[in-house]
Amino acid sequence: MKRVHATSMTALVLGGFLGLMGMTVSVAEKAEFRGAGQFVIPGWFKHSFLDLPEDVVEASREGKRLLLYFGQDGCPYCAALFNTNFSQSHIVDYTRRHFDAIEFNIWGNREVTDFAGRKLSEKEFAANLQVWFTPTILLIGEKGETVLRINGYYPPHQFLAALQYVAEKQEDQLTFRAYLAKLAPPPAKGALHPEPFFAKPPHDLSKMTSGNPLAVFFEQKDCAGCDWMHSEMLADPDTLEQIRRFHVIQLDRWSDTPVVTPEGRRTTARQWADELNIVYLPNVVMFDAGKEVIRIEAFMKGFHVQSVLDYVASGAYKRQPSLQRFIRERADAMRERGVVVDIWK
C-alpha cells in the first residue's frame, strides 16, 4: 500500500513540538505554519522487513545495490525528491534497475536489524548514522558499506550522477567529486559574488578559533546554485542576521588561493576542498573552536539555512545532538512570538 506523507500543521509541528517542550499553549495563540511538503512513497520501493544484512544479500543476488532513504513527514525537500526527481521516468527506471530502495522515517519505531546485526528502532538507527538532514540517502555496497552518502536534496542531474557513480561501481576508481568533474568540468570563466561580510584575504583561519564561529563558503564561477544563494538567500535580512554571528570567508573551490586552516596548516583552497571532500557547490562548512560542526552541502531554502546557522552560532549543537529537534523547537518558539514560519521559503 502506498502511504501519503502529507503532514498537517497540528500533526507535524504542534503535536511533536508541544510534546518535546512540554507546552500547553493552544493552537489559536500561535502564528501560522506553512510549507510542509506532501509526497507519496512510490509503490516500487521495497517492502522490506528491515533486516539489512538480508536486504544486501537479496540485492546482490539480483546484481543491485541498496538505496536507503531517510525522511520525515512534511519535509519539503523530501517532497522535492519524490515529486521532482522521482517523477522523471529515466531516473525512476535507472533507480529500479540498479537499486533496491528502502524507506526509513527518522522518527519511526519500526524495528531495524542494522549491518552489525543489532536490533534497534528506525529513529535509533537514524541517530546512530547521524542523519541530520532530510532527505538523507545512503547508497550501500555488497558488504553493507556506505559507498556514497547524500545529505539533503540534490537536483535531478546531480542525483542521477550519484546513482550512476554507485551503480557503475566507480568508488574504487575515483572520488564522486572527480566523477562529477569528469561529467561536467568546472567552469573557467565568470566571477564569484562579493559580499560585504566576507573577510578579506589573506585567510589565516587559525586566528578565528575563538569568539564567534567560522563559516567558510566554498563556491565556484558560473555556478547557478551560487547565483541563487547570493540573489535570494543572502539578500534575506533574517539570513544576514544569522551570518553576522560568524566570521565568514569565501573561497573559490578550484583556486590556488593560500589558506591557513583552523588547525594552523598552510594549504590552498583547492587542496583543502579536496581534503574536505567538497562536492556540491555552494557548500558552507561551519567550524567552532577550530572543529567542524556541520556543513550545508545540498539545496536548502532560507528557513532551514537560518536554522542551521543558529544551531551553530547559539551553541545549541552542544546540548541538542538532533538538528531536526532543534529546528522543530526553534520553529515552535518563533510561532509563540507571533512569527509566521514558512519552511519552504
How would residue 13 be classed by pLDDT, with cut points 50, 70 and 90? Answer: very low
Q: What are phi and psi of 72, to 5 degrees?
A: -155, 155
Name every residue whose Cβ is closer than 8 Å to that of residue 254 and which is 6 or more positions away in sequence. Answer: 186, 220, 269, 270, 273
pTM for the whole structure? 0.86
Residue the block writes with cell 544484512: 53
pLDDT in the model for residue 224: 84
Domains of the chain: 4-183 (3.40.30.10), 203-314 (3.40.30.10)
**Confidence check: pLDDT of 135 > 80:** yes
- d(CA 43, CA 139) in angstroms, rounded, equals 19
The answer to whether residue 20 scores a pLDDT higher than 60 is no
The predicted structure's pLDDT at residue 1: 37
Three-state DSSP state, 207: helix
Average pLDDT (152-174) is: 96
pLDDT at 223: 87
* Each residue's pLDDT tens digit, 102-115: 999 999 999 999 99
Type and span of the H or E element at 261: none
The pLDDT confidence band at residue 186, using thresholds 50, 70 and 90, is: low
Whether the pLDDT of residue 12 is over 50: the answer is no
Contact call for residues 164 and 110 (beta carbons, < 8 A): no
